Amino acid sequence: MDGRAWNPRLRTVATSGLSCGKPKSVYPFLLMTADSIDSFASGHLMKEQQTILLVDDSESDIFLLCKAFSKAEFNPSVQEVHNGEEAIAYLAGDGAYSDRAQFPLPAMMLLDLNMPMKNGFDVLTWLRAQPGLKRLTVVMMTASMRKEDVVRAFDLGANSFLVKPSGMEQLVAMVRFIRDWAQFNEFPLLSEVDRK
């Protein structure tokens, strides 16, 4: 089956001389410049200037995850907060997070489950009730392997549930998976929380 039938982006690429089949020359897609890839990407793909909000109360987990990002050669802008209340304040643009030039809305949030003050479920519940933010891509990234946590996270609107691996090699592999997925995923546009 021809992939262009179900993917309009491939149709566009195919009409411009590129295709998933045998091209006229040796894989011209691999010869595209960064500028042509940006124009091909339609504006909502994860780019290095887009932000990932990392929400985790463990300084050591944040350190290891940032190290895994580096080893995986995944270099988006990463903002970090350390509990659920800070995550909500960041997303709402409240208090210390009111400057969107310094604290931009993220394209994706990596959200720990078990945190002080407000946990990951509390953050998800709040987030999905915000009209301008409810489509934010949320990846639960937690040590919990409890099936009821997986079910509840998806019921509350998580897009993915990943269990933190115990070794650096597996963590780097997980980050590479997120990086590769993010390069092809379309991220929705978000808007500010209405502060009435």
Q: What is the DSSP string of 80-139?
A: EESSHHHHHHHHHT-GGG--TTTSPPPSEEEE-SS-SSS-HHHHHHHHHT-TTTTT-EEE
Q: What percent of the chain has pLDDT over 90?
A: 62
The structure tokens listed for 154 are 């998806």
pLDDT at 64 over 50: yes
pLDDT at 129 over 90: yes
pLDDT band at 187 (very low <50, low <70, confident <90, very high): confident
What is the C-alpha separation between 49 and 42, in angstroms, rounded?
15
pLDDT at 159 over 80: yes
Q: What is the mean pLDDT of residues 73-95?
A: 94
pLDDT at 19 over 50: no
pLDDT at 10 over 80: no
Provide the pairing of β-strand 108-111 with 51-55: parallel
pLDDT at 97 over 60: yes
Closest CA to 56 of 181, 140, 147, 158: 140
pLDDT band at 151 (very low <50, low <70, confident <90, very high): very high
Closest CA to 188 of 134, 120, 147, 142: 134
**Side-chain-facing half-sphere of 72: CA atoms under 13 Å:** 22
User: Between the CA of residue 128 and those of 9, 22, 58, 80, 122, what are the distances in Å?
Assistant: 29, 44, 25, 20, 10
Q: What is the pLDDT of residue 130?
A: 95
pLDDT band at 118 (very low <50, low <70, confident <90, very high): very high
pLDDT at 98 over 80: yes
Which range among 35-39, 113-117, 123-127, 184-188 shows the weakest confidence by mean pLDDT? 35-39
Contact yes or no for 117/84 (Cβ under 8 A): yes
| Residue type (1 letter), 190 | L
Q: What is the pLDDT of residue 190?
A: 80
Q: What percent of the chain has pLDDT over 70?
A: 73
pLDDT at 37 over 90: no
User: Between the CA of residue 152 and those of 82, 113, 127, 133, 191, what are the distances in Å?
Assistant: 22, 11, 15, 20, 26
Q: In a 3-state reduction of DSSP, which class is residue 88?
A: helix
